Every structure is written in structure tokens, then in C-alpha cells.
Structure 1
Amino acid sequence: MRRSGSIANESGIQAFDMHGARIELHSGYVRVLTSGRPRRRAHGAREVHVPLDALTDISLVKAGLLSKGRIVLSTADRQTLVRFRRVSTSHAQAMVNAIERAIAAQRNPGLTPISRIDAPVAVSEPGPHPAQSASRSGTIDLTDEFRRALSILNHGGSMFLTGKAGTGKSTLIRYFMAHTRRKVVVVAPTGIAALNVGGLTIHRLFSFGPSTTLDDVQTGHYRPGRFAEVIKGMQTLIIDEASMVRADLFDRVEAALRRFGRRPGKPFGGVQVVLVGDLLQLPPVVTDPERAWLEGLYETPYFFSAKAFTRKAFPTVQLTTVFRQLGDQRLTDLLNAVREGVLVDEMRDELNTRTDADFIPPDDEFWLRVAPTNRVVTARNRKALERLDGRLYVHDATVTGDISTFDAPVEDRVEFKIGAQVMLLNNDDRGRWVNGSLGKITGVADDGATVLVALNGGETVDVRPYSWDVTIPQVAGGAMRRVPVGTFTQLPIKLAWAITIHKVQGQTLDRLIVDLTGGTFDYGQVYVALSRATSMNGIVLTRNVLAKDLRTDRRVLRFLAEATQHVAERHVGVGVLTVGAEDRWSRPRPIEIALAFDDGTSLSTLINPERDQSGAREAYGITVDDTALAPKLVEAWSVLARLVKGMTPIGVGIDESLGTIDFELKRQGLVHALPLGINLDPETLTPGERAECEAPTALRRARAALAAHQRLGGSGGTTFAPPEFDEQMSYLLSRDDFAVPRSDPALGELLTISQILSGAILKAKTPQTAFDVDKGIVRAAIAARLASVIGNSAGLAPSLIERLRLLEPLLGEAVVPAETASTTTDLSQVVFLGARVCFTGDAFDMHGRPLARAELKRYTTSIGLIPVESVTKSGCDLLVAAELGTQSNKARAAAKWGKPVISVSQFLQAQIRPEHPAEVPSPQRPQNPTNNLRNEPQGLLHG
């Protein structure tokens, strides 16, 4: 093949001549000058401008090779035929490859070192600085990992290519594409990810609509649209950013290829499928309405739980050498720790030296702010808009039908100015931009309904209002469909001085502001944000990174973990009881943890969840009194971690259990790497074992899990690492009789004390044994817990105070502060006509019958009081708690604002004061509130 090489003209434009044509790399487009003779304007030209963002896919260019000397470039609104004189088919193919590499280099200049077009790509053996050679000399380091991946790729095998951010996943794929003769198509799950790799979204390639189901694809209702011929002809499908590919989407891809691929009826239609991505980055998006349906079909939402995925069909190749942070090894080390969720205090302190809450970017430098939530991003962009001079334009949305379930991607009212930096929020039908493209507004039409946006790639486009279909999911016959119920029409733009972390995945930035205001809510967010940067100097944090920000999905760790040669010498059964539900911002919290050791010993401890314990009394028999003086998890873990070091955990749902512990430890500021346990499949257990593994005590669950494992056998998992933190060890509080484990004799005294305290606090047993350790330590520990409970709740129940007094003879002084012990509530002063009453917790009557909140509210109204939903400084007079001592948010608010708190029993038996304070508006008094009280069901009077 002849080529004259690359030149750079005076304006810095890179160009080369090849077979009678000249290719120039301009900002935003490739300019092709040919010597062919044009027949008409639309076909064949002496000068063709091919916008980079207009190319539907670089593989489509290759697919457009027609015959000798003719190449079709697919652009936004037409196909341009470029003719060459005296060019063979092989030379024309080489021309296409060169254009592909040029396009890739333009789109990702910082990540395409091997795609330079000035010389053929060289492959070198490992050298002393492989990363440097890869990024500067146009060569790549052919490591063992690269060799294995390329061997699989070149032999047509499917695979999963993974690795930390910046390890060369994209570089390897581009190298493969530049050297293969296979017809390759690149896709990604989101528009911005597709833009970053110069490909299509999965939905666009396969013409999947919002309501397309797996059943549709399999049974004939579905047909591929615009790219049907591409699907039929492609040999390799590369799916980038695979961490965000949902299991059900992956199954739809397989079904579509099986029907419409090169070899119908074969798995994936005989197409080589290459998954690329880091599973510890952002996970698939699952909306609340879809969650229950998806969980019923798949073990996890990730692609590796899809029915079409097997480890044998998709061997994993993990890359380890990091190139993106070349020259900043410390940032690389920090990112690795963030990625795996084990950023210990010293490393976190080092990262937090980049915190500058008052940082204002210089006007002559481009800094992009990223944040976890749209709320924070919106606030930051609004401030930036206010600082921009010029007229403010406003465009209001148009709505049809029911959009109550629609999470609109853009605000009802869009405000903007000329010069505003914006992001486009839809995929243009003509292919000029995708969801996530960035640009700057340069003009506005007279009607304000059309704006001109100069895209970062260089092209200026006109953007008009776009209509989103509003759909709702419906499940019928096991299949989920989305039914249209309305539309939402608005300009598809939003201000973009700041963008969400989800939108920045896959990009590389020299200057980055990471704004974690409000905290993170999803796995991998901090890692994705920080790993976009090329150096520590290019990062500014608006607040310190906290331990609770480091969220890692243990299901992913389990998938990625390879079989270990280490055989654990000991196992430990783990049982965990939790309270609270899981949603976007919170997770269940442990309320009891138990450990069962293979030497026959075991122990358990209650955990103070520092939240409302709704459901714990009914499900587990654990009351607020029981947990009031229980240690926090971080305190209990200071003891438990020493007992389990070197052991492999066993349990049903062990990933979920350890994930709950990990999340709560980080919420309380402690990072301790937890192992991968051995998960027991409930289907392999006997009915008796299953029942015990669901018992209402954590200790029974732990013992049952260990016994089942000893019967079934099996290996795998990793071991608990020795604790590397200096937390002050706390006593444990157990409702079980346990044998003190022999794994750490130094803890024997502390555990003995824990048994004595547990007997007094939980069972009202008068201690018979004196402490053999410093009583001051025990007093300090109890005093600290008491102070925490009193400060975050409405005080202690009288029954708990009586139990605590049993300890006073052993400790030599009063345990309960006098002011706490003597505090009583005069019901006649707090329960008065017109009082605004709030409720917290699940109430029960004297017969153990649950009292519904609605039932309590009806009773409240009937006696002339006003039920309210929250405890505020001026909108509430009284909090009624199902259990005194609760640390629910409402109880914390009552403590903060000095509101009285009484129990449900006290409330139901209180006499209503006839007077009403003058400052509180009184509702119309019932004719006979006393009769109303007496006429209530008797069960209410004894709740």
C-alpha cells in the first residue's frame, strides 16, 4: 500500500495524501478532497465535508465499501459516494480504515494514541515505560492481558473485557478494529456513552422502543428498522460501558441477533459479542416501578445475570495497567482504593487535600462540575446562568394525557441565554447529536422555540422542541409492556456548566470539580467522577469524601472474584437481622448480628440502628428498650472484627448481609474491607434448615447456616482481614446465652462483662459477679450510650431506668443521670383540646393487636385534637411514640425542638384538658369529647 505520510499545514490541520485523495482533520469534521469526476452534486464530489457527529457509526463506513474505487460515507441526511481513480478494492478498504482511525482520533484525542494516521500502528514488546510509549509514540504495550484478549478477538470469540478506568480497554478495542477485516459495530447503553465511542445506542441499532419486551423480540411482534441490513451483515458487536447494560436488555439483544443476525437460530445469531466496561462503575438504571418485576426474573440487574450470559461463552479478561493517570501514580493508587470501596482514613485524608469549597474556576480555563443528583446540578447551573449577561429566554413545556408517573428529563420551564453552556437531551433523528452532547447557545429564533447550538465538535445545529412519550409498565402473562399514556414536549436542552456523574462516564477531563453536596446514592459514583481526571492537580472537591460515599456492589465483587488458591482454615456462620426498607437514599440497618464458630462457640449482639425500629418488635421480638443501650455497629464491630479475622463467612444471602454491614460501617465513618462469603442456596437446604435460617433471632440463623455448610460442604470465598482501625472496643449486648469464643482470649474479660450487662439491661437479672476490670471503663461506655440515646430520642422508658439501676451496686455510683430519672410528663399539660399531635412507630393494643396509624388519627380527631405528619418547631405540640426511647427522625426532631413525648398507652388514657392555650388556634370543639373517648373500642385504651 502506498501512502505519502502525514503533514501539518500552517493552521495546524493534520492531513495526508492517499491514492489520489487528500484527507484533512478539521475540528468537527473530516474533509475529503478527491480527484474523481463528479457526476452530480449529491454523488461524488471534488470536496466532501463529513461531519464527525453526523457519521452514524464508524463501522457503517466500512460496511459502505461497495466495489472497486467506490466508498459510501453515511452522513446525517444522505449517503455521499466518494469515487477514487485507479484504486483497488483493497486500497479502498485501507482508505476506509484510515478514515475510521481519523474519526476516532478526533472524537477521543486523549484516549486514542494508537489511532494516529501519520504512520502505521506499531506493536511493541513490554518496555520500561509501556504506558508512556502507548500514549506518546503511537505504540501499545502488548502485555499478556492484551495478547489473551487479542487472541480471543482475532479467533472470533466473545468475551468480557474489563479493568480499572484508564487501563486501555478502549485502546485495545480500537487497535482490534483498526486491524481486523471483520465487520464491526460499536454500541453503548446510553447516548453519551455511544458518542464517546463513535457508535450507536443499543436501542437505536436494534430499534428497541420503550415498550419492546423480550416476548416481542422472540415471538414476532418485533422487527429491526433502519439498521436491519447492518444487523444482518455485522460479524462483531462491541458493547461499551457494559456495567450499565441491564440483564433484560442483554437478553433482548441476544434474541434479536438470534432471529435477524448473520446465522439465524444460532446463539447471538453467530455474531461475536464483546462486552467492554468496568462493573465497579455505574450500575444499570432500574426505576422503582420496574424493580420488583426485574428482581423476580434476574438475580441481579447486571448483564452477567442475563439468561443469555455464561462464563464459558464470555471469558473475562481483566486489564491492570493504568494509562489515563500516567505520571500520577498516587492518584492511581487512590482511585484503586475508591473503586473497591476500601479508601482507608490516611488515603482519604490525602484525597481530601483537594477540597476547596469556595473554588471559582478562572474565566480562561474550562472546568466541568459533576454531581450525583440533578437537584445539585440544577442549582449550580442556575447560579451560572444568573452570572451570564444578556436577555433571559423562557420556553414552557406542552403536556398531553397523564404524566404523573413521568420523570421528565428537562424542566417544565426552560430558561436560557445566548452564551449558555447546554447539554442536548435527545437523540437527533438526523444523527447530528445524541443525548448528552454538549455545546453553547449561539442564537435564538424570533419565536424563541428554536435555538442554535454550537456543538463541541464544531457543527452548529438548530434545536427545536421534542416530544417524549410517557409510558407506564404493565405486566401481563409474565411479560412487561409499557403502555403510552401521554406526551411531554419541550426544548431538549438543559444548562450544562454542571452535569450529573451518569452523564460523564466514559469521558476524560483535565479539570474537574467534584460536587458531592447531598451525598451519593448509587454504586460507583465517586469512583466514576474522580477517575475522569488525568491528575490530582486537575481535581477540586467541594467537600471531603466520606466513608459512606464509597459504595461498592458486593454482587459485582463476587462475579469478578477469581477462584482463590487459599483454603480457609475456619468458617463462621453469620446471621443478620435488619430494620428499614431499601430505597434510593437509604439501606436497611442491622439490629442484631450473630456469629457461630466451627469450634462450637457463638455469640450475638443487638445493634442500636439509630433510627425508627418499625416492625422489629413484631418480627423479631426486639423493642426500643432492648436496643437503647446497645452499641452502634461501629462500636460492636471493634469487637466482632477481632473474632472473625482469618475466617470465611457462611450464610444464606451472605452478599446482602455483608453488604448491609459494609454500608452501615461506612455511614458511621469506618472503612473495613469485608470478604466474599460462601452463599448457601436455599434450594439445597432441608425444610428445617430453611426455617432456622429465617428464624427471628440472628444467632439461630448463624448456627443454622454453619451447620448446613458442614453438611453440604463446598468451598470458595475469602477471609476476613485483620482489623486495621483503632476504634475503642465496646461491650456487646446480647439477648442470647452464648459461650465465649476462644479465638481471641484477650477479649474474654470484655465478653464476660458483656454477658453481665446483658443480663441486667435485657432480662432485669441482678448481677451476681463483680467486675474484674476497671469499673470506670464500663461506666464511661454506658454513660456514652446513655448520652447518645437521650440526645437523639425523647428519653428513656421507666422500665429501662429500673433495669439500669440494677447495675449501680456493681459500678459504685448512679448510672442514670438524676435529671433523666426524675423526668415525668404531666399529661394534663401536654394533652389539651386542639393540640397538634404527631405519631411515630407501630403501636399495639393490650391484646397485641396492631393499631393502624389511620385508626389512631381517627381517634385523635374524635377527641378534639389535630393529627399532623411531622414534628416542627411551630407546627406540632406533642409526639406520641409507640415506644419511648425511639430514635426515629420524629423523636430526634422532638428532642431538638423540646416537644413533649408520651407513649401511645399514655395518650389513649389521658384526660383532655378543656382549656386551650390562647396562642394555638382551636378547632370547633366536639359536642361531647368525653363520650367520644369512652365510646372508642376498649383495645385502644390499653395500647
Structure 2
Amino acid sequence: MKAENAKLVETMNEEQSHVYNAILQSIHNKEGGLYFVYGSGGCGKTFLWRSLISKLRSEGEIVLPVASSGIAATLLPGGRTAHSRFKIPIVLDEFSLCGIGSNSDIAQLIRQTKLIIWDEAPMQHRFAFECLDRSLRDIMKAVDPLNATKPFGGITVVLGGDFRQILPVIPQGDRSQILSACITRSRLWNICTIFLLKRNMRLDKGNSQQETDDINAFAQWVLDMGNGIQCTPVPSKPEMLEDDVLLPEQFCNLNEENSVENMINTIYPDFISNCGNSKYLSERAILTPTNQTVGHLNSQIVDMIPSEMFTYYSVDNAEEFGGNDADLSSAFPIEYLNSMNLPGMPLHDLKLKVGAVVMLMRNLNQTLGLCNGTRMIVTKCLKFCVECEVICGSFIGTRHFIPRMELCPSDTRMPFKLVRKQMPLQICYAMTINKSQGQSLQTVGLYLPKAVFTHGQFYVAISRVTSPYGLKVFVDDDSGSSTNLTQNVVYKEVFYALPST
């Protein structure tokens, strides 16, 4: 561990060293405090987390690395999702507390913890941080009564992320509700020390000067899109909207129709001969804003695989209904429950083939890399489960059996609780932009039959690739023709509380 830390520290740049030393000083002086490391993808936030973790663990200290998403958590040594580690309630309010008993094992672990690292913090609701703050004060006062008055009970907490990315998801929420859910609107932000990482560590990868220049220009364009800066003047027309942007023509093919066939052939060339190649499949995906479009694209692509189709049907039940059983059966028949297609829930009739790419929809075992968002390829279709091989992340190549399990939506407006017993899988040649956050890909096709609808979606989609040669954008205008004019929704108010970038 010491050798690993020494190697990491040697390769740090000045910005990373400044943050590293400041956080270690806070820990060694027992100052506690809240820190936020702000930087775009490629600025070395994960590298910084690994350096801090290896340093403290080599000294026998306890570090708890967590992230807001399962994919980000797998990149951290011993990482877990924040909700899993700290028992944060799924449905939060301003008075929520973590479900940690004062005499539990996790409470004993927290009392010995020196540092908490929370990655991808901007996508989490501010109530989650306030909930953790209240709980840690309560837990840590057993060590010292004065800890009840200190932020996070005196434990040093480091948050990280990029406010250009997608902010907390508020169902049917408007701009003001999304912004008010950000951590920048929390009382904790007033005591937060902000560090800014500007230097992008991914940019010196070109084989020639021309490639290096292209990658640098692409990275700057991606940042400008994230900051809401208009790079190319948009022609003035009465129907133009405030957020309209004109995309460079190198990313759009304006001479061809944006048909599903053309898009599949562009992003998945020679698909039939490569449909079982895990490396080929792991490097590419089609991104689009809505679940409806994702479902349509995935069903078309999986039909192209030349193997037998297996259909797995779910068992659906309605629970927690105010009436009696007779009312329940008549009001919500099984056929109605089977027809329901809710975000975050697998389909009633899950159609799979050997060689199909799927994504996990639940955290099954984060220590084995089986978390929400993990991409896998189906290797066997059995009667009651499927065998899948992980094709991305730290556990690439490992195989696991995915069984049926009971799933229910965490927050719906339905007058009953839908319980669906099904394998937590969905076909994943195409995925929503929100689901892609945290993924890294070689080739991305951004399909926009309708424009993005919330802050950061366009930035997240174009920043999944690190090279301009891997991005293709398919935009339709109102008449269905190809265009390079689309919307880039950016809530610039979220940057007011941050240092200038």
C-alpha cells in the first residue's frame, strides 16, 4: 500500500498535490471540515481519491469511499454507494436520518473513520448530505460530546463531482425545484472549502500533433457546452429558442436520413459478425434522452442477433391497497399489472438472446462489481436464471448467474405498490443519457429525435467519449429531416456558488 501511494504521489500535478496536502493536514490536525473537489472528467478526481485512500490505509486508518451511483462506486477501492454504506433512506425530507443504530457495527466503524470520500456528489439531493450530517453528529458524540456541534461529527468529508453534469432528478420537477435540490443550496455549502481542478490529464493521447490538437479542441468544445457557452453563431429565426446550439458538421451527417438502420450501421458496423465480441460491444452505445426511444432501439438491435430468442415472464402483484382483496382484483387485474412499464423496472416479458448486451437495474453485490448500471453480455439462457459476463469496469470477464428477484418502484404516484418478480436486466445497446453517466466509451451515437430536456444531459452525452473521432450526433428537426441544430439546456445559476472556471 505504501509503495502504491508513493507511486501515485510522484505522478501528481500541482493542483492535485495542493488538494492532497490540504486534506491530509485537516485529518492529521483533527480539524474535520467539508471539502468539495470540482473538475470535469479527466482532471484526476478518481486518481486523487486513490492517492488519499492508499495513504491513510497504509497508516492503518479507516477511509469510507462512497459514490452517488453504482458505476462510480466500482472505480473506488472498496467503494460502495452512499445509500448502501450509510443506510440513507430512498425517500428523503429535511428531517431524515440514516438507519444506523448507535450500537451497530457500522456505527462502531464510523467512530474510527478519519475520512469519507463521496464521488459524483452534484447528482445527489442536498437532503442526503444533511441527513448524513445529522446522523454522524449523533453517532460521534459518543466519542466526544463536542462532536455533536461539529459538521459531520468532526469527520473530514470530501465531496467530488462536476456541476455541468446532470443535477438531482426531481420527478416532473421544474428548473427552480431542481436547483433548490442541489447541494449548493444547502446550509452545509457555507462551510465548504472548494478546490478546482482545471488541468485535463487525458489530453496528451494523440499519436500526432494533429490528433493532439483535435483532442484539445474537442475537450474545450465539450467544456463550453457544459458551461452553456455558444461556440458557433446560431442563425436568427423566429422559432429559435434560448438554448439552441449549432453543432459542428463533423459530428452530424446532414446528407443522410437519421433512420434507425443508418444509426445502427454507423455505431455498430459489421454487427452480425461482432455480436458476440465483448470488447467490440463494451466500447460503443447509442444514447438518447427518453426510455421510450431506448426500448424501441434495443428491440430492433436484439432482433438482428442470429440466435434463439428466450422470453422470461414476470410475476406481478399489487400490495398496500386501501380496499379489500376483491376490490384489488377487480380494479387492478393481472393483465393491467403486466402491461405497466415503469422507469427503473424490468419488462414483464423480458426477451433475451445469447450474445445480447444487458444492463443491471439493481445493486446485487457491489464487492463483485454487480451494481446498478453494470453492462454484461448474456452467455447462457437457463430456465430460471441467465448467466452473464461483465464487459466493463474493474471486474471485466467475470461471470455471474442473475436470478429473478422481487422489485418495486421506490417512488410512484400509483395508489398501490407494484411488486414485480423478474430478472433485474434490460437490453443495453442503447441507454438513456442519465443512465450513461459514469460510463466511458470509445464510440457514442447521440440520437435526438427530441431534444434534451434538463440541465447537463447534452454535456454528459458528448463527454462519454474522449476523442472527437468517436462521436456521432443524429438530430431530427420538426419535419423529421437531419439537422445540426439542437438544444443544450444549462442552468447557469448552479455555477454562481462556484469559483470561476
TMscore range, shorter length: 0.7 to 0.9
Aligned counterparts, 1:392-403, within 5 A: 392-401=309-318
Per-residue CA deviation, residues 236-293 of structure 1 (Å, 9 max, x unaligned), is 11111111011111111112212224655232021111110001111111123xx59x
Partner SS for 2:52: helix
CA 1:352 to 1:526, structure 2 compared with 1: closer, same or farther past 3 Å?
A: farther
2:13 paired residue among 99, 123, 141:
141
**Residue aligning to 1:462:** 401
Alignment partner, residue 553 of structure 1:
491
Identical aligned residues as a percent: 23
Q: Does 1:335 align with 2:205?
A: no
How far apart, in 2, do the equivalents of 1:324 and 1:561 lie? 23
Once the two structures are superposed, residues 513-537 of structure 1 have per-residue CA deviations (whole angstroms, 9 ceiling, x without a partner) of 2222322112111111111212111
8 Å CA contact retained: 2:227, 2:492: no
Match of 2:44 in 1: 168
Pick one of 251, 265, 280 that aligns with 1:354: 251
CA pair 352-486 structure 1, distance change in 2 beyond 3 A? same
Distance change in 2, residues 1:444/1:184 (3 Å) = same
Counterpart of 1:424 in structure 2 is 360
1:318 aligns with 2:196: yes
Deviations 1:288-313 (A, max 9, x none): 3xx59x95xx9711112223x133x2
Please give the secondary structure, in 1, of the residue aligned with 2:64: strand
Higher relative CO (CA 8 A, sep ≥ 6), structure 1 or 2? 2
- How far has the Cα of 1:205 moved from its partner? 0.3
Task: Please give the alpha-carbon distance, in whole angstroms, between the structure 2 residues aligned to 1:281 and 1:151.
Answer: 27
> 2:8 is matched with which residue?
121
- Paired with 2:105 and 2:474, the residues of 1 have a C-alpha distance of 45
Task: Give 2:426's aligned residue.
Answer: 494
Determine if contact 2:286/2:445 at 8 Å carries over to the other structure: yes
Correspondence for 2:238: none
Distance in 2 separating the partners of 1:337 and 1:192:
26
User: SS of 2:225's equivalent?
Assistant: helix
Asked whether the equivalents of residues 196 and 506 of structure 1 are also in contact (C-alpha less than 8 Å), the reply is no
Counterparts of 1:886-901 in structure 2, within 5 Å, are none
Cα distance, 1:540 vs. partner? Answer: 1.7
Alpha-carbon distance between aligned partners in 2 of 1:152 and 1:399, rounded to the nearest angstrom: 53
Secondary structure of the residue that 2:97 maps to in structure 1?
helix
CA distance in 2, matches of 1:492, 1:552: 33
Per-residue CA deviation, residues 32-79 of structure 1 (Å, 9 max, x unaligned), is: xxxxxxxxxxxxxxxxxxxxxxxxxxxxxxxxxxxxxxxxxxxxxxxx
Cα deviations by residue, 1:717-742 (Å, 9 ceiling, x for unpaired):
xxxxxxxxxxxxxxxxxxxxxxxxxx
Q: Does 1:525 align with 2:403?
A: no
- Which of 127, 132, 135 is 1:248 aligned to? 127
Matched, 1:197 2:72: no
Letter of the structure 1 residue corresponding to residue 129 of structure 2: F
Structure-1 residue corresponding to 2:22: 152
Give the superposition deviation at 1:232: 2.9
Deviation at 1:472, TM superposition (A): 5.3
What count of residue pairs does the alignment treat as equivalent? 416
CA apart distance, 1:324: 2.5
Secondary structure of the residue that 1:317 maps to in structure 2?
strand
Question: Aligned runs of 1:815-854 on 2, under 5 Å?
Answer: none
- Judged with a 3 Å threshold, the aligned counterparts in structure 2 of structure 1 residues 483 and 196 are, in CA distance, closer, same or farther, namely farther
List aligned pairs for 1:539-578, cutoff 5 A. 539-543=471-475, 548-561=486-499
Residue equivalent to 1:451 = 386
Pairwise CA distance, 1:211? 4.7
Shift of 1:410: 1.8
- 2:288 match: 371
Residue 223 of structure 1: how far off its partner (Å): 6.7
Partners in 1 of 2:267 and 2:93 — Cα distance?
47
Corresponding position of 2:97: 217
Are 1:434 and 2:434 matched, yes or no?
no
Q: Which letter does structure 2 place at the counterpart of 1:334?
A: W
Counterpart residue type for residue 560 of structure 1? L
Deviation, 1:371, is: 1.9
Q: Is the 8 A contact 2:345 2:408 kept in 1?
A: no
| Unmatched runs of 5 consecutive residues or more in structure 1 | 1-93, 102-114, 124-138, 475-481, 564-943
Q: Which residue pairs with 2:209 in the alignment?
A: none
Instruction: Identify the match of residue 271 of structure 1 among 146, 152, 155.
Output: 155
Q: Tell me the equivalent position of 2:185.
A: 305
- How far apart, CA to CA, are the structure 2 residues paired with 1:378 and 1:509? 20
1:514 paired residue number: 446
SS in structure 1 at match of 2:12 = strand
The residue type paired with residue 384 of structure 1 is: I
Query: 2:446 touches 2:473 (CA, 8 Å); kept in 1?
Result: yes
Distance (Å, rounded) in 2 between the aligned partners of 1:223 and 1:202: 18
Task: Say if 2:71 and 2:439, in contact at 8 Å, map to a contact too.
Answer: no
C-alpha distance 322-545 of structure 1, shift in aligned 2 (>3 A): farther
Q: Which amino acid aligns with 1:331?
A: F
User: Any conservation in 1 of the 2:68–2:123 contact (CA below 8 Å)?
Assistant: yes
Shift, 1:160, TM fit: 0.7
**Closer, same or farther: CA 215–484 of 1 in aligned 2, 3 Å:** farther
* Alpha-carbon distance between aligned partners in 2 of 1:215 and 1:436, rounded to the nearest angstrom: 30
Mapped to 1, the partners of 2:34 and 2:409 lie a distance apart of 36
For residue 207 of structure 1, report the CA deviation from its aligned partner. 1.8
Residues 299 and 503 (structure 1), Cα distance of their counterparts in 2 relative to 1, 3 Å cut:
closer
SS in structure 2 at match of 1:155: helix
Q: Measure how far apart 1:429 and its partner are.
A: 4.9
Change in CA separation of 1:430 and 1:167 when aligned onto 2, cut-off 3 Å: closer
- Contact 1:159 1:274 survives alignment (8 Å): yes
CA contact (8 A) 1:472 1:483 kept: no
C-alpha displacement of 1:557: 2.1
Q: Which runs of 5+ in 2 are unaligned?
A: 27-32, 205-211, 235-244, 275-279, 320-336, 476-481
Opposite residue 383 of structure 1, the aligned amino acid is Q
Shift of 1:342: 1.6
| 8 Å CA contact 1:184, 1:235 repeated in 2 | yes
Counterpart of 2:460, as a letter, is: V
Q: Take 1:213 and 1:223, find their aligned partners in 2: how far apart are those partners?
A: 21
CA distance in 1, matches of 2:300, 2:360: 20
**Correspondence for 2:349:** 413
Q: Deviations over 1:174-210 (max 9, x none)?
A: 2222333442111111222222335111110012343
RMSD, matched Cα: 3.2
CA gap of 1:222–1:323, structure 2 versus 1, over 3 A, is same
Residues 361-419 of structure 1 deviation map (CA, whole Å, 9 limit, x = unaligned): 33454422222222222222111101001111111222222678964422222111011
Aligned partner of residue 170 in structure 2, secondary structure = coil
Corresponding residue number in structure 2 for 1:110: none
Q: Aligned residue for 1:232?
A: 111
Amino acid at match of 2:405: Y
Contact 1:468–1:489 (8 Å) recurs in 2: yes
Quickly say closer, same or farther: Cα 1:224–1:252, change in 2 above 3 A: farther
Partner in structure 2 of residue 762 of structure 1 = none
How big is each residue's C-alpha offset from its partner over 1:438-481, in whole Å with a ceiling of 9 and x where there is no partner? 11111122x2x20001112121111111212345589xxxxxxx
CA deviations on 1:588-614 (whole Å, 9 max, x unpaired) are xxxxxxxxxxxxxxxxxxxxxxxxxxx
